[in-house]
Amino acid sequence: MTPQEFSLLMISVIASSFGQWFLKVGALQLGKVTGANALGHILSIATTPALLAGLAAYGVGAITYILLLTRVNLSVAAPSASLIYVASVLIGVFVFKEDLSIARLVGLGLIMGGVVLVASR
């Protein structure tokens, strides 16, 4: 993967990770969805700034991923994009104070190792 291709990948991963963060913030603002409030929550999505920001960030991530796909084989790009999972777990731990078990930490290590093996050709 060339430096330009790696940059596209990182922009896609970072933008998508920000999308995850904004969507979680927006979901917390909405509150828990139940059968009684589901329709109201669905309508509120269009007026919740954090949710709109999350969708926009996902859009940027998708666009840069498409640009990456014009340059890199899918068999390299798709596994490399799994770095979004790593970033999402780190956001969960450091921003939302979620627990990080040993099993989850080992899983993150396996994801990162797999990305290195797949991307190194």
Reported as a pLDDT band with limits 50, 70 and 90, residue 10 is very high
pLDDT of residue 21: 96
Closest CA to 117 of 75, 88, 68, 62: 75
Q: How distant, in Å, are the alpha carbons of 4, 55, 81, 82 from that of 64? A: 12, 14, 11, 15
Reported as a pLDDT band with limits 50, 70 and 90, residue 44 is confident
Residue 85 structural domain: 3-119
Q: How many residues does the chain have?
A: 121
pLDDT of residue 37: 87
Alpha helices (runs of H) in 1-121, residue ranges in sequence order: 3-30, 38-45, 49-69, 74-80, 83-94, 102-119
Domain count of the chain? 1
pTM: 0.83
